[in-house]
Structure 1
Amino acid sequence: MNKIYRYGIGLLLLVSVKVQAQNQIIDAIIKEATENSKLEVLAHEIMDGVGPRLVGSPQMQKAHDLAVSTYQSWGIPARNEKWGEWRGWERGITHIDMIAPWTRSLAGTQLAWSPSSPQGGAKGEVVILPEFADSLAFQKWLPTVKGKYVMLSAPQVTGRPDYNWEEFATPESFEKMKAERIKVNAAWSSRLMTTGKSRTGLPLALENAGALGIITSYWSNGFGANKIFSGSTKKVPTVDLSLEDYGLLFRLAESGKKPQINLNAQSKETGVQPTYNTIAEIKGTEKPDEYVMLSAHFDSWDGGTGATDNGTGTILMMEVMRILKAVYPNPKRTILVGHWGSEEQGLNGSRAFVEDHPEMIDKIQALFNQDNGTGRIVNLSGMGFVHSYDYIGRWLNKVPSDITRELKTEFPGNPGTGGTDHVSFVAAGVPAFNLGALNWSYFNYTWHTNLDTYDKIVFDDVRNNAILTAILVYMACEEPEMVSREQRIPINPRTGEPGEWPAQRSPTRKGGMN
């Protein structure tokens, strides 16, 4: 009896020592994250120093190199791992000036991969795509665009977001505005359809007829915010104008005042460029061939500087690696971070990593991905892994309650089918989890817009996220065994029948070269 008693006491002491050591590491994570944060420095170097990170651009390569050198300065081995090639393109200056009927510099952005204008720009009248009886009428009109700029977006009824109308308008006025907006958008869609050309085919037809350029405006439903993506023209520039400046030109053209602009867009083709993922690792001691992964895409669209999509995810994962290297330099499992290229064109970097490293897939304990803005992490799904609650619940229990108090979890949840990079790993059977952030008006104001810049980062929220993520990674490293990968096949809501686990998909390894 005495021997059993001593054994029980010894076991309790062992557990107590382990818990105490665990708590010391967690306390050290919190202290390092709050007292020695490098988030502002990282954000400045990447968003301000490098700028936007369009795949195939010099800025993307500069960002990869900066990440490698930063990790190495922290004593963390890092490398750039090539996975494909992309059409190289470098943004230059874009000046858009209305020169008639009066003078005004306009706010706009050349769309990615669209051609440059002649040196010094090209002057021309701005015209609206008119209404056509049929596609034959469009073909008859087409030669008239030679030497002119053509507007292809619907005019907006209002430049005020709906929330502003809801706050100040009468209910009758708000409903009237919405009805008018539906009517205008439907009429414009009909106008485009009557040309007989697709969304990408219409600009090509216009440039082949001699148009000087294409003018669009993709309003993001927020004050001053426009979505900025890529153009489809091959010979002339495509530019996106702010809602207010597009509306000005549209109204002038519509009333017969024949506005003219000078567009000077000096982009540059740079040939075929290699594309990379940046990979960094802290080698495990007891189980070096098992991995806990951090994940965030590095590339961005280039209307702004990609601050919240996905600069905040990038600096979060870099900061977590820095913190863990400082307070947990000898992890039980290897900690690996992937900064993926070309997520914006279809999760290409992460899909390539999964495809290129099949030997690692069964050895990834867990992956944590972040990619939806600057806010506090408030959503976490088990992604369809049946036992995810067991281990995620244990790990979250170690995170301070003031950080997790807003966190909503869904277990086991359903596997993701698109959207961001954890999906590449879920499809391969890896317990991969997206750390969903508080909105902070992400979709209206910063997601793929001209306003996605450093000033939109909420650093206190990102600091909280660094603590949460670092603790999750630490706990996943310390987990005695590999976690269960048993999957729950989701039910198709339309048929009520069992669906299928998401299929693993190959990346586009040669992009933008058509």
Structure 2
Amino acid sequence: MKNLTKLLIASALFAGGNTFAQSKNAVVDNIVKEETDNSQLEKLGQELLDGIGPRLVGTPEFDKAGKWALDKYKSWGITARQEKWGEWRGWERGISHIDMVYPRIKSLEGTQLAWSPGMKKAVTAEIIILPELADSTAFQKWLPAVKGKFVMISMSQPTGRPDDNWKEFALSGSIDKMKAARTAQTDAWRKRITNTGLTTRTLPVALEKAGAAGILTSNWSAGFGVDKIFAAYTKVVPTVDIALEDYGMLYRLNENGVKPKITIQTESKELGVVPTFNIVGEIKGKEKPNEYVMLSAHFDSWDGGTGATDNGTGTLTMMEAMRILKKVYPNPKRTILVGHWSSEEQGLNGSRAFVEDHPEIVGNLQALFNQDNGTGRVVNIGGQGFAKAGDFISRWLEAVPDTIRHQIKTSFPGAPGGGGSDFASFVAVGAPGFSLSSNSWSYGNYTWHTNRDTYDKIVFDDLRSNAILTAILVYMASEDPAKLPLDKIELPVNSRTGQPGKWPEQVKANRHGGLD
């Protein structure tokens, strides 16, 4: 009789476990099927990136994108809210015209830098190049020469071809010669800046105070036709990045005795102090509503392009994963949250503010999955220094289709990330934030913070893979009977200092950006 009882209990346990396995497989299968047959990624991308565009914090486009995201979540039956956490310098990019008018007419490729002041009317003026000067005293004597002129403060690159193009076609002597010349020129230009007694940050301000008509830069990104577009430091006159090809032409004309004239008109507007916010979406947990699994991606971007791969792709991945989860897994065990962070580009400020403002969530976090480095499929996941992360993430990955899983390299327990993206805001306070790191697609040169970061650079097959992966990881983390332990590894000795390694320290959010 006892043996029969044991057999019945064992059968019941087996049946229960088998039911869970079947249920788990059914949800995973439905995740894959929904994304394969009914993906919304292209539509979401077109609406966000083409229709609204870049999402520089403090701009009307960022505000418009936030409202769009709230409407999308509402249409999917997902509760979402706008969480104000600070305020920012409001700014709106207007129409820009940048033209060479002497010695010939040519429209120039260029971009007014973010938060650069606008102009009441077009200004036509000669160009002057920052010269080689012996020291800061010589610089001060030269400074009055800039009055009424556009000042070039970037080096003119010796080549507009990326290095891989040289490697493919050039003779070895030619590429070695080019690299040597570029290194020498770069060192000389760095010394030219240093001898002013200023930095690349303070030099434009000094030129502005001396009466310059505007500042011209060229921040080449080492690819064909690609420049990095960041922020201006001037407050009165415009700062404009000129693409390498046109910048080099203006520079050469000037050096060869022709004094080119250009006309610039930038119509940007200051909008005063505006609120900044995160978007947080939620699918409430049924069994453990006060434990959380999070999806994470920053919502803001620079605005040289449309922020497609930094971080439109991460945003689309997380929105699509939430849409799928709501449809095929509407009653999760743990509460599922998605965080769309603002002002990541100025120092992870949105996620840092969330960590400060929501200790009740951070302290009960099962896992956070963040994606933020381009259009590529996820190929690396690390344990961020949590001793037991590998046991859990490896188990969760077992449910992922092999076509996706086999491409992913894992490193456990790994080391804690101290910055780079929003997962680090959570890691710094000992919460399990993990980066879903993707392959390159020439991200560093061609789309990261550039004027070419646009919709056409997205590889949607890779995004579909990432949406499936994220949804499955979130589902598995939600269902896991166990809570991921937060034990940290002992970090190795720092080879530079000889001191024991230290866990990254929490950094407070800047809640008043650009208002100094």
TM over 0.5: yes
Residue 208 of structure 1 is matched in structure 2 by 209
Show the counterpart of 2:8: 6
Structure 1 residue corresponding to 2:74, chosen from 56, 72, 75: 72
Report the Cα distance in structure 1 between the residues aligned to 2:39 and 2:495, rounded to whole angstroms. Answer: 45
Match in the other structure for 2:356: 355
Distance 1:31 1:133 in 2: 68
Report the AA paired with residue 375 of structure 2.
T
Query: Are 1:169 and 2:170 an aligned pair?
Result: yes
CA distance in 2 between counterparts of 1:416 and 1:133 reads 42
Distance of 2:68 and 2:51 partners within structure 1: 10
2:509 aligned with 1:507: yes
RMSD: 0.9
Provide the secondary structure at the position in 2 that maps to 1:277: strand
1:23 maps to a residue whose letter is: N
Shifted more, 197-206 versus 336-345: the winner is 197-206
CA distance in 2, matches of 1:19, 1:191: 67
**Residue by residue, what CA displacement relative to the aligned partner does 1:327-357 show, whole Å, maximum 9, x if unpaired?**
0001011100000000000000000000001
Residues 380 and 433 of structure 1 are in contact (CA less than 8 Å); yes or no, is this contact kept in structure 2?
yes
Question: Following the alignment from structure 2 to structure 1, what is the Cα–Cα distance between the partners of residues 276 and 334?
Answer: 29
**1:493, CA displacement in angstroms?**
3.3
Superposition map of 1:40-439 within 5 A: 40-119=42-121, 121-439=122-440
Amino acid of the residue matched to residue 105 of structure 2? T
* Structure-2 separation of matches of 1:498 and 1:47: 45
Q: Once the 2 structures are TM-superposed, how far is the Cα of residue 494 of structure 1 from its aligned partner?
A: 2.8
CA distance in 2, matches of 1:205, 1:483: 53
Output the CA distance in 2 between the equivalents of 1:358 and 1:9. Answer: 44
- CA separation in 1, counterparts of 2:33 and 2:356? 38
- What is the TM-score when the length of structure 2 is the normalising length? 0.98
Name the aligned partner's letter for residue 484 of structure 1.
P
Distance 1:161 1:247 in 2: 15
Gaps of 5+ in 1: none
What does the per-residue CA deviation read over 1:161-190, in whole Å, with 9 as the maximum and x for residues that have no partner?
A: 000000000111100000000111111111
How many Å apart are 1:6 and its aligned residue?
1.4
Contact 1:226 1:242 (8 Å CA) reproduced: yes
Q: CA deviation at 1:497?
A: 4.3
Higher mean displacement: 381-390 or 4-13: 4-13
Partner of 2:485: 484
CA–CA separation in structure 2 for the residues paired with 1:489 and 1:212: 56
Inter-partner Cα distance in structure 1 for 2:400 and 2:262: 57
Structure 2: distance between partners of 1:163 and 1:283: 50
Cα distance between partner residues in 1 of 2:79 and 2:8: 46
User: What one-letter code is carried by the residue in structure 2 that aligns with 1:453?
Assistant: T
| 1:50-76 Cα deviation digits (max 9, x unpaired) | 110001000011111110111001100
Q: Which amino acid aligns with 1:159?
A: G
Give the CA deviation at 1:500.
1.4
Deviation at 1:391, TM superposition (A): 0.7
Distance in structure 2 (CA, Å) of the matches to 1:290 and 1:134: 61
State the number of aligned residues: 513
Question: What does residue range 27-42 of structure 1 map to in structure 2 within 5 Å?
Answer: 27-42=29-44
1:439-491 per-position Cα deviation (integer Å, ceiling 9, x unaligned): 00000000000000000000000000011110000000001121111111321
Is the 1:489–1:501 contact (alpha carbons within 8 Å) kept by the matching residues of 2? no
Q: Deviations over 1:195-215 (max 9, x none)?
A: 112222211111111110000
Which residue identity is paired with 2:487? Answer: E
Counterpart of 1:27 in 2: which secondary structure?
Answer: helix
Q: Distance in 1 between matches of 2:430 and 2:210?
A: 51
In 2 relative to 1, CA 158–432 (structure 1 residues): closer, same or farther, beyond 3 Å?
A: same
| 3-state SS, counterpart of residue 221 of structure 2 | strand
Counterpart contact for 1:307–1:454, Cα < 8 Å: yes
Distance 2:197 2:503 in 1: 39
Deviates more, 1:131-140 or 1:151-160: 131-140
Shift of 1:495: 4.5
How far apart in 1 are the matches of 2:5 and 2:141? 100
Normalization by structure 1: what TM-score? 0.99
Q: Tell me the percent identity.
A: 61
- Give the whole-Å Cα distance in 1 for the aligned partners of 2:20 and 2:194: 68
Identify which range, 110-119 or 18-27, moves more after superposition: 110-119
1:408-448 per-residue CA deviation (whole Å, 9 max, x = no partner) reads 00000000001000000111111110000010000000000
Letter in 1 for 2:257: G
1:494 corresponds, among 480, 496, 500, to 496
Give SS of 1:359's match. Answer: helix
Counterpart of 1:3, as a letter, is: T
